[in-house]
Structure 1
Amino acid sequence: MSRDRYVDFLRAWAIVLVVLGHWLITALVREPGGRIIAPELLATVPWTQWLTLAFQIMPLFFLAGGHAAGGSWARARESGATAGGWLGRRALRLLLPVGVYSGLVLIAVGVCAAAGVDADTLALVGWAMAMQFWFLPVYLLLSALTPAMYAAHRRWGTRVPPAMGAVALAVDVLVVRGHTPYVGLLDYLLVWGVAYQLGFCWHDGLLTGRRYVPLAMAAGGLAAFAALVALGPFPVSLILVTGQHPGNTDPPSAAMLAWVVAQAGLCLLAAPAVRRLLARERLWRVVRPLSAASMTLYLWHMLPVLVAAAAFYLTGLAPEPGLGSGAWWALRVPWLLVLGLVLAGVVATLGPLERALAVLYERTSPDAGLRRAWPLWPGLALDVVALSRLAVRGFAPDGRVPVLPALGLALGTALVLVTRWASTRRAATVPGAVLR
């Protein structure tokens, strides 16, 4: 079955905008003593919170993920694969690069801590290198729930996303009015799960048969978002801003849910025109490598910020006009160009490692259905907990290596890898095994 170029484009587009958005709002200041701090642009220059409407594009990543997962799981079921076998394969595709990235960062943190680097500086750097990790445990959990979510989709179709949205709204009321923040953790699965579930509907043609459906989603979502911001308690920023309560991302709010629906509708409306453009091989040759490198770009995109900080701010070479001034914005252009060049170098340097991971993945991918998957589930549980912890506290809380999350991630990934490796060995000895 041929790949949908538009889905690959959405994945690449989402990652590129996330990277550019993080780079754009990252502000560095060198204090008189030489210490580098990172003031929060969205809090210091409040009008910049409107920029998050252009750069909060993660709904499209979950939408594209649901589209791809729905088709993948449907084909796996037809070939006789089990849920454990399918999930192990998809989880490993995510966990291998994440594990290598985390291992290298943790080694660097350990070396810096042993060398006596200032604990506050190291904690800030460790947080910057883990800030994107919030996405990983959510995506792993949605992947684990895909068989059940897809079964609900097959039975109830387009009624499932509104039902999930209604529960998410009820949870949000408890968070905002009832002051029960831990209940809000459910909205990470419910709100982003709506985008994921809409991906199933999109894959099966339930949203595209009538043009008014995506139009209603886009118009209704935008109107609801505007009302919740103008009349309700929610801020316009779609990225967490210190001191704002309620916020829209931690946990995802009713306003974020409206934004999910609006973006999904706009995505479906744009699909025919963008697909015609992607049919041009010259453009596709640009999009395809970006999509293939999306995880690498997502994981490593804050490393260029650290390189630029060391090269230009620690040395005092970088000009430092007032934060948010015209001169500061003008310097964003060379800032983005420098970071882009450094990231291109990082991706090129990581090429051999990426190819080695691809070989390892392919050697553990074929199976005839994973029947003894018990190590997979505790492995995934350890990974989700460890990644969540790293996302909240970073790679160097208090300037030290986070030993327990590091061990949890290593053990969890090893359990998933061993489970997949065992299934590959069994598949090699089973005549007529199904290879996917």
Structure 2
Amino acid sequence: MGRDRYVDFLRAWAIVLVVLGHWLITVLAHGPDRALGAPELLATVPWTQWLTLLFQIMPLFFLAGGHAAAGSWARTRAAGGSATGWVGRRAVRLLLPTGLYSGLVLLAVGLCEAVGVDPGTLALVGWAMAMQFWFLPVYLLVSALTPLLHAAHRRWGLAVPVVLGAVAVAADTLVVTVHAPFVGLLNYVLVWGVAYQLGFCWRDGLLTGRRLPAAMAVGGGLVFAALVGLGPFPVSLILVTGQTPSNTNPPSVAMLAWAVAQVGACLLAAPALRRLLERERVWRVVRPLGGVSMTLYLWHMLPVLIAAAAFYLTGLAPEPALNSGSWWALRLPWLLVLGALLAVVVSALRPLEGALVARYERIRPDTGPYRARLLWPGLAATVLALIRFATRGFAEDGRVPVLAAVGLVLGTALVLLHRAPGGHGSVPRRPAETEGALEEAA
């Protein structure tokens, strides 16, 4: 089975909308003391929380990821490959660009701390550069669980996401009724795991036709509306400070309903969008976005910092009243400037990421043997470090989080070392395969 252009489109579309959504809600403004701050748009202008229904599209990224992972793991199983080799391969593709990003950001934080940058400012910047990290430990976990999840899928099919969803509902009920936050942590894997598992079902033809996707779209949408309109859940599908319960921290039953609705709508739209993607002019635009999706996702807040320094710290940017007509009119040039800056950043960093992957593949080619005793502890340490960055940023209290940094370095090193060094008889990846490795990380 060849690559499904629609699956690649969904991954690219999800990343682009996440980037645009983060940029759109990012507000920079000088306070009465002329200090530059970042007011929270979703809290300050509550109606903007409805916009998150358009920009919270990560369920489709997990759906597409599950579809791609199912095909990749099935091919590995058919060829006699191991779970350790497959999980390690995907972990490496995710952690090499993540390690490069984290290392450069932590180095910058350390230098700023050494020269005496204001701790409050540094903490805000460190949080901004880590706000997207919630996704990484979750995706690493579901990727690591793929062999088990796919085995369950082969045996029970659609019953698996139904059961995962039911457990997620039970966990969220405990969170809301008896305030059991640690139980809610399960929903990071359960809710997003439902979308991932539906990707398996989609690939294997269990979601064909129009009746089931239509029922998912309508039913999920109605349940979401009831939970927001009649229940305790907010409409915002992005975290809003002080808002409880939240739909994302941890993922709520309302987020689960919205994910099911999105998946149903996505499947209904598939035939028309597949026909559109068969046009080469359209595909030439979409395909490169998929190839740089991880780079876009990791680095998309750096242009905000550059724009802040260039236009706001210098006083060049106009600052109309928040939520005024003039303020909204300036959102378009704001997005265009950030887009141009991100294009420059990606152009500079993409070759570096590619060289890093290529060098690793030459030194430790993907030919086995694989050391499970290194991979699994390495993944555990890496997930814990990424959770720490996701929850507290790269510079909590204006300082480098040394313990989390050490955990990320050691965990990533163990993951990288799970492959044996290449000998004279090893066969490295062909250049085209190396170039596509980062794209397949998702």
* Distance in 2 of aligned mates of 1:275 and 1:241: 36
* Number of residue pairs matched by the alignment: 428
The one-letter code matched in structure 2 to 1:244 is Q
The aligned counterpart of 1:298 is 297
Q: Which residue of the partner structure matches residue 76 of structure 1?
A: 76
Residue type of the alignment partner of 1:280: R
Matches within 5 A, 1:402-413: 402-413=401-412
Question: For 1:173 and 1:267, how far apart are their aligned partners in 2?
Answer: 28
1:99 maps to which residue?
99
Q: In the alignment, what sits opposite 2:204?
A: 204
The residue identity in structure 1 corresponding to 2:205 is G
Residue equivalent to 2:312: 313
Name the SS for the 1:131 alignment partner: coil
1:265 matched to 2:250? The reply is: no
Give, as a single letter, the amino acid of the residue that structure 1 aligns with 2:69.
A
Is the CA contact 2:92–2:415 (under 8 Å) kept in the aligned structure 1? yes
CA distance in 1, matches of 2:276, 2:321: 41
| Alignment counterpart, residue 428 of structure 1, candidates 426, 432, 440 | 426
> CA 1:426–1:251 in 2, change beyond 3 Å: closer, same or farther?
farther
Secondary structure of the corresponding residue to residue 349 of structure 1 = helix
Q: Report the TM-score, using the length of structure 1 for normalisation.
A: 0.96
1:367 CA displacement: 2.0
Question: How much has 1:33 moved relative to structure 2?
Answer: 4.1
Q: What is the CA deviation profile of residues 44-95 of structure 1, one whole-angstrom value per residue up to 9, with x for unaligned ones?
A: 0000000000000000010011001111111111111110010000000000
- Alpha-carbon deviations, 1:338-373, whole Å to 9, x = none? 000000010111132022023135434522563x31
Distance 2:368 2:80 in 1: 7
Letter in 1 for 2:321: G
**Residue aligned with 2:270, SS:** helix
CA contact (8 A) 1:187 1:253 kept: yes
How much identity, in percent, do the aligned residues show? 73
Query: 1:80–1:368: 8 Å Cα contact kept in structure 2?
Result: no
Change in 2 beyond 3 A, CA 1:205/1:426: farther
Letter in 2 for 1:201: C
Q: What is the CA distance between 1:35 and its match in structure 2?
A: 2.1
Output the CA distance in 1 between the equivalents of 2:157 and 2:423.
38
**Cα 1:418–1:222, aligned 2, differ >3 Å: closer, same or farther?**
same
Query: Are 2:292 and 2:350, in contact at CA under 8 Å, matched by a contact in 1?
Result: no
Task: Tell me the equivalent position of 1:161.
Answer: 161
* Structure 1 residue aligned with 2:286: 287
Q: 1:361 to 1:196 in 2, by over 3 A?
A: farther
AA of the residue aligned to 1:99? G
Structure 1 segment 29-178 matched on structure 2, within 5 A: 29-178=29-178
Structure 2 portions without partners, runs of 5+: 428-432, 438-442
Cα distance change, pair 288–362 in 1 and its aligned pair in 2 (3 A):
farther
- Aligned residues of 1:175 and 1:183 also touching (Cα < 8 A): yes
Deviation at 1:30, TM superposition (A): 1.6
Instruction: Give the partner amino acid of 1:31.
Output: G
Q: Deviations over 1:279-332 (max 9, x none)?
A: 111111111110010000000000000000001110111111111111110000
- Quote the Cα distance in structure 2 between the aligned partners of 1:267 and 1:6: 10
Q: Which runs of 5+ in 1 are unaligned?
A: 430-434
Q: Matches of 1:316 and 1:31 in 2, distance apart?
A: 13
| 3-state SS in 1 of match to 2:366 | coil
**Equivalent residue for 1:360?**
359
Give the stretch that moved more between structures: 360-369 or 332-341. Answer: 360-369
By how many angstroms is 1:24 displaced? 0.2
Once the two structures are superposed, residues 129-161 of structure 1 have per-residue CA deviations (whole angstroms, 9 ceiling, x without a partner) of 000000000000101111110010000001111
Q: Aligned with 1:132: secondary structure?
A: coil
TM superposition outliers: structure 1 runs of 4+ over 4 Å:
424-427
**SS at 2:158's partner residue?**
helix
Are 1:217 and 2:216 counterparts? yes
The answer as to whether partners of 2:207 and 2:213 remain within 8 angstroms in 1 is yes
TM-score normalised over the length of structure 2:
0.94
State the AA in 2 paired with 1:306. Answer: L
**Could you tell me whether the CA contact under 8 Å between 2:96 and 2:356 is conserved in 1?**
yes
CA contact (8 A) 1:19 1:301 kept: yes
Deviation, 1:36, is 1.3
Q: Superposition pairs for residues 322-333 of structure 1, below 5 Å?
A: 322-333=321-332
For the 8 Å contact 2:368–2:420, the answer to whether it is kept is no
Q: Distance in 2 between matches of 1:333 and 1:252?
A: 31
> Which secondary structure does the structure 1 equivalent of 2:14 belong to?
helix
The amino acid that maps onto 1:261 is: V
Amino acid at match of 1:328: W
CA RMSD of aligned residues (A): 1.5
Q: CA deviation at 1:243?
A: 1.3
**8 Å CA contact 1:368, 1:427 repeated in 2:** no
